[in-house]
Structure 1
Amino acid sequence: MNRLWIVSALLVTAPALWLFGPTQADVPALPRHQEWLADARQLPDPATATPGQISTWFAGLPPAHADELTRQYPEVIGNLDGVPVSRRYAANHDPARPGRQILALDRRGDGLAAEVIGDLATANRVAILVPGVATELANFDTGLGGVRHRAPAWQARQLHDQARALAPGTPVAVIAWLGYDTPDGVRREALREDRAATGALALERFVAGLVQDRPERQITVIGHSYGSIVAARAASRLGPQVTDIVAIGSPGMGVPDRASLNTSARVWAGSAPDDWIRRIPGVRIFGIGHGRSPIDPDFGALPLPCADTVGHDGYYQPGTSSLRAMAEITLGRGAA
């Protein structure tokens, strides 16, 4: 009888633990991490060294030594926050993508990538685009399902073009940042925030690396759909250089209101009138769901105009008020 009770209890609790268990956050090791650590030159551990420590260490390397490390460990150097941008571009050079500025590239699993549009060396205004569910390296350029306007690389170009059109003389850069393993679909992983928690840790390090040599740089983080939860989880630790956080097509940001984000950044939220995300209940129970929608007036976010935006993936379409507003915000203005 006791054995039967134990089996019955396991049958009930195992699915519950799978669905409602504690949120886990752990940034995966960089490619060739162990090989790098085993190097006799006692190289810094990418898992524990801060971007600031990496920056200081790299600045002290003789140029020949830096060149040698880049040739020997391009997968590490190209993804190591704190390494100079130009060095990461060189490490991530891909003959299949000539002329592109790839700031991160990891081909393992679903893959990770970050591409810069604009001149990051001179840009004092930077936008980071954080994508959502089912975005992976295979559709980074082409878009989920082959739909171009779903592609992070395409979206970044639209935002950069719009910002340059509004302020031709302002140095601005836009980064398409696929720096975390997104949920594979609208299933368990999308209902929970484990992937967002891991993504937030990676986003924090990425932002810290961007401001090592330019502490005066001002950054806007734009999270689309599940990406808005990544931005929310990171918000309190992103630093004062992040002046704005924008949530578009958000299912909720995992908190009841804007104040709970614990950030000095302006927080904006917008959703297309026909975005299916609006039908998701604004609840959060035992870690399932993402809470109140940030477009709810009671959340307290600033409204992002989206009246002429169509669908869940139309926010970067040229000519839309949402694209113009995000460009204005990136430039340090309002969302008029």
Structure 2
Amino acid sequence: MTRRLLARIALGLLAVGLWPGSAAAYEPPGTAAWLADTVDGHPLPDPASASPADVAAFFAALAPETASDLARRHPGVVGNLDGAPLALRYEANERTAGLPGRQLLAYDPTGDGRIAEVVGDLATAERVAVIVPGVDTTLGNFHTGLGGRQERSPLWQARQVFEAAGDDRLAVIAWLGYDAPENGGLSTMSLIRSDRAESGGESLAGLLDGLALASPQATVTVIGHSYGSTVAAYAAPAFPAQVTDLVALGSPGMDVDTAAELGTNARVWAGLAADDPITNVPDLRVLGLGHGEDPADAEFGALRLDATGNSGHDGYFVPGATVLRGLTAIIESTRSAA
């Protein structure tokens, strides 16, 4: 019996008793108080249902002092509300996080936490890269990296991309806007299920729609590392036109068999180091468990991102790495599209 068949049987047995459920819709902290408030007797947009365009229109109709007052009274909502003005989100999240001078596009300390931080000037950027991290990434290790390894810090990764590009018209967002799966004990099931990726993809799509409204002049490259590539796959069908490229690094799979099935007009790239442990993950998806074909396989149909010389699962953003050079080339190639 082949290893592939054994893995398929095992996944099938797991699926019988552990059918993946849907994750609850994300509610920013302070949502109840926000929904109980009004402006001139009119209700505030519901974070669970209002689109980024609805939110942008709401704030555009407010006097500046009224918008600032809302950010002061409801920082947890305004700071995490796609479509709200960038300056207001920065102001609200600085107040909540107590981190002056940081460009925080999202901040939520509840649970494992959520955070998005911008490197560069997002307001004037002509190119934007969004890095979506994977398993075991939390607010607690966002800056230091999982296990204290800086290579696993999304913010460190964002800084490497920004510095390698050497482009003052680039902004890079390290985006932990979803509840990443955990690796350990029963929580390990979240690794092979897709509910975190589905809900994360919805949140990522909201971020991208908000970016398209705030910075319509900018092209966007989405970079998913590990399970972050699965999250990006679920956002792909809803990518706004500004998203020109989707990059999967060290991916466990994107829950589809081919790049064409992602349903996006963006170019799809995949890079995988030869010694990345993710290569041991079976290319299977059974009854909603597992993540399917390896995007780095030729049959998947993605463009190849050269990973020659890259080491392990955490080496894709190391200065001088082949993949990092390739990433900056992809981002900079969108100059002609801007």
Shared topology, TM-score over 0.5? yes
Identify which of 126, 129, 134 aligns with 1:127.
Answer: 129
Q: Which amino acid aligns with 2:55?
A: I
Q: State the SS of the aligned residue for 2:317.
A: coil
Q: Does the 8 Å CA contact 1:27/1:199 hold for their aligned counterparts?
A: no
| Unaligned stretches of 5+ residues in structure 2 | 1-11
Offset, 1:279: 1.0
> Which residue pairs with 2:270 in the alignment?
269
> Which residue pairs with 1:77 in the alignment?
78
Identify which of 133, 146, 149 aligns with 1:147.
Answer: 149
Q: State the SS of the aligned residue for 1:80.
A: coil
Q: Which amino acid aligns with 1:58?
A: F
> Which residue pairs with 2:172 in the alignment?
174
| Unaligned stretches of 5+ residues in structure 1 | 1-12
Q: Does the 8 Å CA contact 2:294/2:300 hold for their aligned counterparts?
A: yes
CA–CA separation in structure 2 for the residues paired with 1:77 and 1:17: 41
What are the superposed Cα offsets for residues 245-297 of structure 1, whole Å, 9 maximum, x if unpaired? 00000011110001111111000001111100011110111111111100110
What are the superposed Cα offsets for residues 64-116 of structure 1, whole Å, 9 maximum, x if unpaired? 21121111111111111001111111111157533211110000000000000
Q: Which amino acid aligns with 2:127?
A: R
Identify which of 109, 113, 116 aligns with 1:114.
Answer: 116
Q: State the SS of the aligned residue for 1:223.
A: strand
> Which residue pairs with 1:24 in the alignment?
22
Normalised by the size of structure 1, how large is the TM-score?
Answer: 0.91
Q: Within the alignment, does 1:89 sit opposite 2:87 as a pair?
A: no
CA–CA separation in structure 2 for the residues paired with 1:108 and 1:316: 29
Q: Relative to 1, partners in 2 of residues 1:14 and 1:109: Cα closer, same or farther, differing over 3 Å?
A: farther
Q: Within the alignment, does 1:33 sit opposite 2:31 as a pair?
A: yes
Q: Does the 8 Å CA contact 1:27/1:202 hold for their aligned counterparts?
A: no
Aligned length: 317
CA–CA separation in structure 2 for the residues paired with 1:185 and 1:257: 27
Q: Does the 8 Å CA contact 1:51/1:209 hold for their aligned counterparts?
A: yes
> Which residue pairs with 2:218 in the alignment?
217
Normalised by the size of structure 2, how large is the TM-score?
Answer: 0.90
CA–CA separation in structure 2 for the residues paired with 1:111 and 1:197: 18
Identical-pair percentage: 50
CA–CA separation in structure 1 for the residues paired with 2:120 and 2:174: 11
What are the superposed Cα offsets for residues 195-238 of structure 1, whole Å, 9 maximum, x if unpaired? 00000000010100111133232100000000000011111111
Q: Does the 8 Å CA contact 1:104/1:113 hold for their aligned counterparts?
A: yes
CA–CA separation in structure 2 for the residues paired with 1:79 and 1:333: 28
CA–CA separation in structure 2 for the residues paired with 1:333 and 1:306: 21
Q: State the SS of the aligned residue for 2:213.
A: coil
4+ residue segments displaced more than 6 Å: none
Offset, 1:48: 1.0
CA RMSD of aligned residues (A): 1.8
Q: Relative to 1, partners in 2 of residues 1:284 and 1:116: Cα closer, same or farther, differing over 3 Å?
A: same
> 1:217-256 alignment to 2 at 5 Å?
217-256=218-257
> Which residue pairs with 2:292 in the alignment?
291
Q: State the SS of the aligned residue for 1:331.
A: helix
CA–CA separation in structure 1 for the residues paired with 2:151 and 2:14: 37
Identify which of 162, 165, 168 aligns with 1:163.
Answer: 165
Q: State the SS of the aligned residue for 2:94.
A: coil
Q: State the SS of the aligned residue for 1:68.
A: helix
